Structure 1
């Protein structure tokens, strides 16, 4: 049960962290009917808007971004992508954990950066590496010809989330501003990162209430509905596993207690003859079952938590990253969950053990002693 909890919640935690790293918990952008649309009209960034967002007690960090579709072309190959422009406030530590080669582009004072970070997927398709130059074509409405920019590859990242790796590359936000002919105070969206324990959907709803009428706050859960619905199924799977394991444990323990009672029938009869009440004898057998149960829980906790620790440190069991978005079984320790399972298992098993223990009251002392 503990293994199911630490691995199930670990997978949820790891995938959610990746999604939040790449787009924030919440995005504030122009109101459109399709909340999934990446490219949108610009937002004029001003102190009043930033203050309204940062005033929320759950908001931890705010950064600007912008999106623009483009075609990347190397010497022999080309591939489509969405360029995500990052401002100088982006969380480099969070995104940096996904870099597999090179480094982030350096912003240059007074001009846009001439570098970009592409995914390992794009690097394979285009057959390029760090330091190579790519021709970046920005498609415009006809009859305008595409705009061309040349950018050097400063780094390569790999998230393990196929939808991200196949779609996104990172550039200086000034590149997007230049292509879109935006002013320096215009951005495509504001990415909001919230504090641990806060719920993105609730914070997004509260932010929407204080934003101007033409802006909307879109949570990651809304933007990636299917992925989050898939992760919600983990909770159901974990619950089913816990219920099945508790039922099996209770049945096995009840059977063992029943066998113990049958084997000690003469002792029960003798105790009754000496004046012991049924309640006292029942307590004796329940105490014996309690000792066995707690010993089993202790051994189970040591084995399960030991495995979880080794998996976290050495990543013993690997996964198909294209299917599960991670390359090994992730582990996340939730003390409340672990404690609740132990206490719940102990309580349920002891309650179920009351059923076979009632057999004690049906044992007639006189007949047992006479038979003996």
Structure 2
């Protein structure tokens, strides 16, 4: 039989014993653990949810990996590269690649009777994955894009639609400046999307890749490049190296040089900013653990002092210091356990409330999202609970040695 656990359980469950223990001390210690764990769960849920939401939006516009002409990736100017079926098949054959889609850019200008706006037209074909745009669609529909003919369908963002006062179903003229002429196309607004990624929303619209290739006066098998989606984002750097080894510095039949880049390399500022959020989480975890530890130490010391007579009696009956220390550590475990239960209910409950109601709002122009995103991961919650329990008990080991300084004869007479 575990004697310290047996005694601790009786002390904790005994109503008469409870009255001898300072209730405020126990409640404060329990509250410290509960609030600390709840804040940690909320912090991790918010930061992970925010990072994944923003990351998915950046990936939605540019995919995980891009293969294009070397000069395109270096200068930002649009240079064509051969992206025929054989090249696409080579990219699809790389282990870990989930999807490949061709694209072609063309700069142009949208004009209404009273306004005009310079935008970038992104041409995509039937291999384009529309799921990201469908998730962020606010009006109309995402058209079926073609690589064989021009459907004259255009998908624009809400900021562009607001500036030009356009709605889905309306028609608009677009002007494209070539080497020696100006070309005009008339498009129908098929749909309007909004991602709150200001950098992309204010400049990008989608149409057929057939149209952008023709406007660039490129060959049918040429494009700006190919976007690649991988199955595991955590392997992005590894996959970037594998793709680079496969295609970088190879020459197409037109004499253009292939090159590749990852979404992190293409958007270093955004991902550097997201990585800084990890530091904030670690600081919050450290502060909340310290708060929980200090309140538990204070509570344990008060409990030990109020149980001085019991400690003296146990020593007089032959109990070792280690046995008494383990008794109070088990008692602390009961307090920590109840505090963790309350903390889990509070933290997970608030996370679910935000997840399903979007109660807390954000400024999308600054944070790229309109509500605070939450992502609950059972593994993270289990790790936080385990770490809280282990760290709290570890912190209490040193204060528990106060028991060894209590003298049986004096403590029995302690009032």
- Report the TM-score when normalising by structure 1: 0.95
Q: SS where residue 153 of structure 1 aligns?
A: strand
1:334-371: per-residue Cα shift (whole Å, max 9, x none)? Answer: 22222221111111111110111010111111222355
Q: Map residues 218-297 of structure 1 onto 2, 5 A cutoff.
A: 218-297=261-340
CA–CA separation in structure 1 for the residues paired with 2:152 and 2:208? 8
2:382 to 319, 335, 339: 339
1:27-71: per-residue Cα shift (whole Å, max 9, x none)? Answer: 11111385472x432221234422332222221111111111111
- Other-structure match for 2:174: 136
Q: Map residues 160-239 of structure 1 onto 2, 5 A cutoff.
A: 160-213=196-249, 214-239=257-282
CA–CA separation in structure 1 for the residues paired with 2:400 and 2:146? 78
CA 1:262–1:224: 2 relative to 1, 3 Å: same
Q: Map residues 108-123 of structure 1 onto 2, 5 A cutoff.
A: 110-123=148-161
Q: SS where residue 32 of structure 1 aligns?
A: helix
- Other-structure match for 1:127: 165
RMSD of aligned C-alpha atoms?
A: 1.6
- Check conservation: 1:35, 1:218, Cα contact below 8 A: no
- Other-structure match for 2:59: 20
Stretches of structure 2 lacking an aligned partner (at least 5 in a row): 1-39, 250-256
CA–CA separation in structure 1 for the residues paired with 2:74 and 2:147? 34
Query: C-alpha displacement at 1:263, in angstroms?
Result: 0.5
CA–CA separation in structure 2 for the residues paired with 1:116 and 1:198? 34
2:364 to 315, 321, 345: 321
- Other-structure match for 1:360: 403
Query: C-alpha displacement at 1:205, in angstroms?
Result: 1.8
Query: C-alpha displacement at 1:78, in angstroms?
Result: 0.4
Q: SS where residue 166 of structure 2 aligns?
A: coil
Q: SS where residue 80 of structure 1 aligns?
A: strand
CA–CA separation in structure 1 for the residues paired with 2:365 and 2:315? 66
CA 1:33–1:43: 2 relative to 1, 3 Å: closer
CA 1:367–1:234: 2 relative to 1, 3 Å: same
- Other-structure match for 2:37: none
Q: SS where residue 151 of structure 2 aligns?
A: coil
- Check conservation: 2:297, 2:399, Cα contact below 8 A: yes
CA 1:328–1:122: 2 relative to 1, 3 Å: same
- Check conservation: 1:29, 1:40, Cα contact below 8 A: no
Query: C-alpha displacement at 1:312, in angstroms?
Result: 1.1
- Residues 1:44 and 2:91 aligned together: no
Query: C-alpha displacement at 1:199, in angstroms?
Result: 2.7
Q: Map residues 58-77 of structure 1 onto 2, 5 A cutoff.
A: 58-77=96-115
- Other-structure match for 1:369: 412
CA–CA separation in structure 2 for the residues paired with 1:176 and 1:238? 44
- Other-structure match for 1:150: 186
CA–CA separation in structure 1 for the residues paired with 2:234 and 2:393? 36
- Check conservation: 1:113, 1:174, Cα contact below 8 A: no
Q: SS where residue 372 of structure 2 aligns?
A: coil
- Check conservation: 2:309, 2:413, Cα contact below 8 A: no
Q: SS where residue 376 of structure 2 aligns?
A: coil
Query: C-alpha displacement at 1:197, in angstroms?
Result: 4.5
- Other-structure match for 1:307: 350
CA 1:357–1:140: 2 relative to 1, 3 Å: same
Higher helix share: 2
CA–CA separation in structure 1 for the residues paired with 2:311 and 2:273? 54
- Check conservation: 2:309, 2:414, Cα contact below 8 A: no
Stretches of structure 1 lacking an aligned partner (at least 5 in a row): none
Q: SS where residue 71 of structure 2 aligns?
A: coil
- Report the TM-score when normalising by structure 2: 0.85
Q: SS where residue 392 of structure 2 aligns?
A: helix
- Check conservation: 1:58, 1:198, Cα contact below 8 A: no
CA 1:366–1:107: 2 relative to 1, 3 Å: closer
- Check conservation: 1:270, 1:365, Cα contact below 8 A: yes
CA–CA separation in structure 1 for the residues paired with 2:73 and 2:103? 18
CA–CA separation in structure 2 for the residues paired with 1:46 and 1:109? 12
CA–CA separation in structure 1 for the residues paired with 2:285 and 2:227? 38
1:215-248: per-residue Cα shift (whole Å, max 9, x none)? Answer: 2221111111111111111111111000000011
